[in-house]
Amino acid sequence: MSDCINIKGVTAFGHHGVFDFEKRDGQVFSVDLEIHLDLTAASNSDRLEDSIDYSLFTTIAREAIEGEAFDLIERLAGFIADRIKNEFPVVQSLAVTVHKPQAPVKENVTDIAVTIRR
Protein backbone atom coordinates (compact mmCIF):
# COMPACT_ATOMS: atom_id res chain seq x y z
CA MET A 1 0.00 0.00 0.00
CA SER A 2 1.26 3.49 -0.77
CA ASP A 3 0.37 7.03 0.12
CA CYS A 4 -0.75 9.48 -2.51
CA ILE A 5 -0.17 13.08 -3.53
CA ASN A 6 -2.90 14.50 -5.77
CA ILE A 7 -2.30 17.61 -7.85
CA LYS A 8 -5.16 18.87 -10.01
CA GLY A 9 -5.31 21.43 -12.75
CA VAL A 10 -1.73 22.27 -13.75
CA THR A 11 -2.72 24.51 -16.65
CA ALA A 12 -0.61 25.95 -19.47
CA PHE A 13 -0.75 26.82 -23.16
CA GLY A 14 0.58 24.24 -25.59
CA HIS A 15 0.66 23.28 -29.26
CA HIS A 16 -0.32 19.59 -29.22
CA GLY A 17 -2.61 18.01 -31.78
CA VAL A 18 -2.74 16.18 -35.07
CA PHE A 19 -4.05 19.14 -37.04
CA ASP A 20 -1.80 21.89 -38.39
CA PHE A 21 -3.98 24.62 -36.86
CA GLU A 22 -3.59 23.05 -33.40
CA LYS A 23 0.18 23.17 -33.67
CA ARG A 24 0.08 26.69 -35.12
CA ASP A 25 -2.54 28.32 -32.86
CA GLY A 26 -2.18 26.23 -29.69
CA GLN A 27 -4.68 25.89 -26.86
CA VAL A 28 -4.96 25.41 -23.11
CA PHE A 29 -4.17 22.01 -21.61
CA SER A 30 -4.57 20.89 -18.02
CA VAL A 31 -2.83 18.06 -16.17
CA ASP A 32 -3.83 16.13 -13.05
CA LEU A 33 -1.26 14.05 -11.19
CA GLU A 34 -1.81 11.17 -8.78
CA ILE A 35 1.55 10.20 -7.32
CA HIS A 36 1.95 7.16 -5.07
CA LEU A 37 4.92 6.99 -2.71
CA ASP A 38 5.71 6.28 0.92
CA LEU A 39 4.99 9.36 3.05
CA THR A 40 5.45 7.60 6.41
CA ALA A 41 8.54 9.59 7.40
CA ALA A 42 6.89 12.93 6.59
CA SER A 43 3.67 12.01 8.38
CA ASN A 44 5.66 11.09 11.49
CA SER A 45 8.19 13.94 11.51
CA ASP A 46 6.19 16.88 10.10
CA ARG A 47 9.40 17.92 8.31
CA LEU A 48 9.55 19.05 4.71
CA GLU A 49 12.87 17.25 4.31
CA ASP A 50 11.02 13.95 4.78
CA SER A 51 8.53 14.69 2.03
CA ILE A 52 8.90 15.88 -1.55
CA ASP A 53 8.50 19.35 -3.04
CA TYR A 54 5.19 19.20 -4.94
CA SER A 55 6.22 22.12 -7.14
CA LEU A 56 8.79 19.86 -8.82
CA PHE A 57 5.91 17.79 -10.22
CA THR A 58 3.92 20.83 -11.32
CA THR A 59 6.96 22.24 -13.09
CA ILE A 60 7.46 19.01 -15.04
CA ALA A 61 3.81 19.08 -16.15
CA ARG A 62 3.91 22.76 -17.16
CA GLU A 63 7.20 22.39 -19.03
CA ALA A 64 5.83 19.39 -20.93
CA ILE A 65 2.67 21.26 -21.94
CA GLU A 66 4.67 24.28 -23.11
CA GLY A 67 7.50 22.24 -24.65
CA GLU A 68 7.83 19.94 -27.64
CA ALA A 69 4.60 19.60 -29.61
CA PHE A 70 3.14 16.10 -29.74
CA ASP A 71 0.37 14.86 -32.01
CA LEU A 72 -1.43 12.94 -29.26
CA ILE A 73 -2.29 13.80 -25.67
CA GLU A 74 -1.53 10.15 -24.96
CA ARG A 75 2.10 10.93 -25.81
CA LEU A 76 2.07 14.08 -23.66
CA ALA A 77 0.72 12.12 -20.67
CA GLY A 78 3.27 9.35 -21.17
CA PHE A 79 6.09 11.86 -21.49
CA ILE A 80 5.13 13.47 -18.16
CA ALA A 81 4.71 10.10 -16.43
CA ASP A 82 8.04 8.78 -17.67
CA ARG A 83 9.90 11.94 -16.68
CA ILE A 84 8.48 11.85 -13.14
CA LYS A 85 9.30 8.14 -12.76
CA ASN A 86 12.85 8.68 -14.06
CA GLU A 87 13.61 11.75 -11.96
CA PHE A 88 11.98 10.56 -8.71
CA PRO A 89 12.77 6.92 -7.93
CA VAL A 90 10.77 7.20 -4.68
CA VAL A 91 7.59 7.33 -6.79
CA GLN A 92 6.08 3.85 -6.69
CA SER A 93 3.35 4.47 -9.26
CA LEU A 94 1.48 7.37 -10.76
CA ALA A 95 -1.37 8.43 -12.96
CA VAL A 96 -1.18 11.41 -15.29
CA THR A 97 -4.37 12.81 -16.81
CA VAL A 98 -4.12 15.31 -19.65
CA HIS A 99 -7.24 17.37 -20.34
CA LYS A 100 -7.82 18.94 -23.74
CA PRO A 101 -11.10 20.85 -23.29
CA GLN A 102 -10.92 22.53 -26.71
CA ALA A 103 -10.27 19.33 -28.65
CA PRO A 104 -11.59 19.66 -32.21
CA VAL A 105 -14.30 17.01 -32.18
CA LYS A 106 -17.64 17.09 -34.00
CA GLU A 107 -19.82 16.80 -30.91
CA ASN A 108 -20.25 19.34 -28.13
CA VAL A 109 -18.15 18.16 -25.16
CA THR A 110 -16.78 19.93 -22.10
CA ASP A 111 -13.54 17.96 -21.98
CA ILE A 112 -11.48 15.23 -23.61
CA ALA A 113 -8.95 13.59 -21.28
CA VAL A 114 -6.49 10.72 -21.34
CA THR A 115 -5.03 9.00 -18.26
CA ILE A 116 -1.72 7.12 -18.35
CA ARG A 117 -0.68 4.91 -15.42
CA ARG A 118 2.86 3.81 -14.68
Clarify whether 106 is annotated catalytic: no
Catalytic residue among 8, 23, 85, 100: 100
Query: Exposure string (b/e) for 67-88, b if CB count within 10 Å is 16 or more?
Result: eeebeebebbbbbbbebbeeee
Residue 107 CA to residue 95 CA, distance in Å, equals 27
Residue 27 CA to residue 4 CA, distance in Å, equals 30
CB 38 within 8 A of CB 72: no
Tell me the catalytic residues. 100
